[in-house]
Amino acid sequence: MKLAWLACLCLGGLLFAGNQESDLNVNRRYTVDTVTVAGKGWRTNVTDSHSEKLSSGLRKDLAALVGQKLNPGVLDGLADRLKKELSAKEVSHHVLRADTPEHVRVEFEVKQPRANIDATVSKAVYNSRDGWSGAGAVGFTVQHNSFLFGAASDGDTLMERYAGMSARYENKHLGTDRLGLRFQAESYHEQWNQNTIDAAAAHPEETSATYRTRQNFQPTLTVALAKPLTLEFGVGFQRFENQYPESHIEAANAFITSLRFHQVLAEVPFQQDLDADYTLRAATRMLGSDFVYTSHTAGVVYRAKHGKHQLTDAFNVGTISGRAPLVDRFVAGNSYYLRGWNKYDIDPIGGNRLVHNAVEYRYGPFWAFYDAGSVWDGGQPATLRHSLGVGVKESIFTLALAFPVRSGHVDPVVMMGIIY
Amino acid sequence: MTPRARETLVSRRSWLMAGLTVCLSSAFEDQPLQVRYDGDTLRVTAPSLHFLTGKALERLKDGDAVAYMANLELLNDSRTMTLRQQKGRFVVSYALWEERFSVTQLASRPSHVDGLSTQAAESWCFDSLALSTLGLSVDTFYWLRFDIHTANAREIAAEGMPGFSIARMIEWLGKKNSEQTQWGPLERRVRLADLPRLAGRGSRG
């Protein structure tokens, strides 16, 4: 009997404790109808999977509130995550009555700072064959206007090692979120590998001579056609100061059009994303260009993520018709295409055809990749090359050992640094 | 003087009494801290002090729960020593659909009330604080002091009440370290012998 009373008392205590928790905030009894995140001039419903304002992880956590009883305790944590992700000055949350009785809607209000200063390192990579390459920028944003000033010394991406400065102005809200404007200016000094100097001199009909300096000015307009599809068009004015046979200036002025597509394919049972892009660069005498060529490049990236497992497949193709300067030709054997290969062995002046596929698998920080592709010139036979790599990747930091797959000998390349 | 006029005349004594009553009554009501004494305990009210206002009220109407810490003290006449003290920890929330307040007093045996108007919620908090007068001299002057401020989860948890750990308080109140708003302190000099004794449990006299 005593035990029965004791059990009753314990049960009563537990029931009281349970009620206490829910009674501290009476609004816990209401059901959440919608969750929205809003800033100046924009608003997004977190259940809308096309929303590009938020990362899929955060959007998923916010959407998980919908249909559940209100839990005010988690709202502060979510507001903190929004503040961090959106670089906001302040994120506050409001719970308001929904249209249905006993239902509420949660609104996160984002306040952006009047001026925001950013410093970014866009590339810092060491390749045991090409040495260090780095690029970074410092900028500030006032209202919708971003100004970015950068410096780079890159011996990895192109056939040339270029070093110099860049400046960019961007307005992502030209009256509406669907319209953006960007001006980009770059000025670089070049250093060349002897193989490239020799090959360029031997094939003047295919590309430009090696130049001493390169400047680029590129105004573009961006239009969000539909939520996942963006069109960018503009003009690129490139200017090269050549060394040989005597100092002279050449220009490659082109119309540029890009289409970009991003789609979250699924969130369950695992997250899948698709990115696709196509770029057309048409250099014409109409713009006073010395080079006349048309370049088409296209790429598709598919990503799937499930827990610690992450699979990425990136497929790229490109073709150039006409005579393009060295800077616009395709290069493989760098940190992006056919990793581990020597780009000067593949083609010291690059090619005007590109086909490449990269498969990457990650489990937590461990990373492996398989690259297959070819860079060649139209009319010449294409040689398919492969490379394999293993390493670790934590956030943006990468350490990898890449092996070009070829018969005869193994010549691994160490790559490490910040690679996006 | 006509009989009719005589009927409506008010005596000088009556005028004097009425005047004195009005003066005493208004003097009592002008006190920022009004005291109720039932012979055993002292309770206070502060008609001019409203803590369900301003930013705290904005947060409540945004669906947040807001914690308050109230402090009622009895000090000696020189205000150098605290003789009696009671702290009250209250969590207030505002039902968005019913537009009524809910108050929970956090204690080893919590008490809870809901469906209150602004005034009723504030009064409930005041009524929850009482100081025992046992052992106090009725002829000595004391000072009563009251203040209340908004508190965050850490501050409430720091009181060390069982069942109210910081993790649970953060879960209930959020981890926002909101700006603290304080009302008071309000003070009043009292002597138990001067206080009108309310009918109740009074054991004195």
Pick left, alpha or beta for residue A403 (phi over 0 → left; psi -120 to 50 → alpha; otherwise beta): beta
Asked if B163 is an interface residue toward chain A (Cβ–Cβ < 8 A), one would say yes
User: Do both A87 and A188 map to the same domain?
Assistant: no
Residue in B with minimal Cα distance to A77: B175
User: Six-digit token pair at B176?
Assistant: 């926002």
CA distance B183 to A245: 85
Same domain as A143, residue A57: no
**Residue B58 near chain A (CB below 8 Å):** no
A54, A79, A111 - which closes a domain: A111
Eight-class DSSP state of A337? S
Tokens, residue B172: 């209930």
Taking a C-beta distance cutoff of 8 angstroms, is the pair A38, A111 a contact?
Answer: no
| Gap from B65 CA to chain A (nearest CA, Å) | 5
Contacts of B116 in chain A (CB under 8 A): none
B46's tokens: 């502060």
User: What is the percentage of chain B residues whose pLDDT exceeds 90?
Assistant: 40
Could you report how far apart the first and last alpha carbons of chain A are, in Å? 70
Write down which residue in A111, A132, A151 finishes a domain: A111
pLDDT in tens, B67-92: 899 999 999 999 999 999 999 889 89
Rounded CA gap, A278 and A300, in Å?
Answer: 9
Question: Does the CB of B174 have a partner CB in chain A at under 8 Å?
Answer: yes
Instruction: Say if A3 falls within a structural domain.
Output: no
Cis peptide before B47 (omega within 30 of 0): no
Residue A66 CB neighbours (<10 A) = 16
Strand, helix or coil for residue B14: helix
Average pLDDT over residues B114-138: 92
- The answer to whether residues A184 and A301 touch, using CB atoms and an 8 Å cutoff, is no
A172 shares its domain with A39: no
Residues A90 and A59: beta-carbon distance below 8 Å = no
Q: 3-state SS of chain A: helix, strand, coil percent to 5? A: 15, 55, 30
Q: Tell me: do A131 and A245 sit in the same domain.
A: yes
What CATH number is given to the structural domain containing A46? 3.10.20.310
Tokens of A276: 């696709």
Residues A317 and A270 reside in one and the same domain: yes
Q: How far is A63 from chain B (nearest CA, A)?
A: 18
In a mutational test of the B interface, the residue from A21, A27, A74 whose CB has the highest number of chain B CBs within 10 Å is A27
Q: Could you tell me the CA-to-CA distances from A149 to A116, A117, A281, A335, B159 in Å, in that order?
A: 14, 12, 25, 24, 52
Optimal mutation site among B60, B61, B97, B116, interface A, most CBs of chain A within 10 A = B97
Whether residue A287 is found in the same domain as residue A386: yes
Residue B66 near residue A25, CB atoms below 8 Å: no
pLDDT of residue A145: 87
| CATH code for position A261 | 2.40.160.50
Cα distance between residue A403 and residue A371, in whole Å: 10
- A94 vs B contacts (CB less than 8 Å): 62-63
Q: Are residues A44 and A170 in the same domain?
A: no
Q: What integer pLDDT is reported at residue A8 of this predicted model?
A: 43
| Residue A6 located in a structural domain | no
Which of chain A's residues have a Cβ under 8 Å away from the Cβ of B157?
Answer: none
Q: Please tell me whether residues A225 and A301 are part of one structural domain.
A: yes
A232: in domain:
yes
Q: What is the biggest distance separating any 2 CA atoms in chain A, rounded to whole angstroms?
A: 109
Helix (H) or strand (E) holding A320: strand A309-322
Whether residues A127 and A247 share a domain: the answer is: yes
Determine the Cα–Cα distance for residues B162 and A65; give it in Å rounded to an integer: 30
When mean pLDDT is compared over A377-386, B25-34, B188-197, the highest value belongs to A377-386
Same domain as A340, residue A221 = yes
Q: Are residues A167 and A301 in the same domain?
A: yes
Is B30 part of the contact surface with chain A (CB cutoff 8 Å)? no
* pLDDT tens, N- to C-terminus, chain A (420 residues): 454 444 444 444 433 444 444 468 889 999 999 999 998 778 888 887 666 678 878 888 899 999 999 988 788 889 989 988 888 888 989 999 999 999 999 999 998 877 777 788 888 888 888 889 999 999 988 877 899 999 999 999 999 999 999 999 999 888 877 889 999 999 999 999 999 999 998 988 889 989 999 999 999 999 988 877 899 999 999 999 987 777 889 999 999 999 999 887 877 678 888 999 999 999 999 999 999 999 999 999 999 988 889 999 999 999 999 999 999 999 999 989 999 999 999 999 999 999 999 999 999 899 999 999 999 999 899 999 999 999 998 877 889 999 998 876 777 888 888 766
Query: Total structural domains in chain A?
Result: 2
Chain-wide mean pLDDT for chain B?
A: 79
Query: Do A23 and B112 count as a contact with CB atoms less than 8 A apart?
Result: yes
Per-position b or e across B106-145, b if 16+ CB within 10 A of its CB: beeebeebeebebeebbebbbebbbbebeeeeeeeebbbb
Domain range for residue A105? 23-111
Where a domain ends, among A78, A111, A144? A111
Task: Clarify whether residues A67 and A122 are in a common domain.
Answer: no
**Among the residues of B45-141, which ranges form H helices?**
54-61, 118-127
For the complex shown, is ipTM > 0.85? Answer: no
Q: Which of A34, A104, A72, A103 is closest to B59 using CA atoms?
A: A72
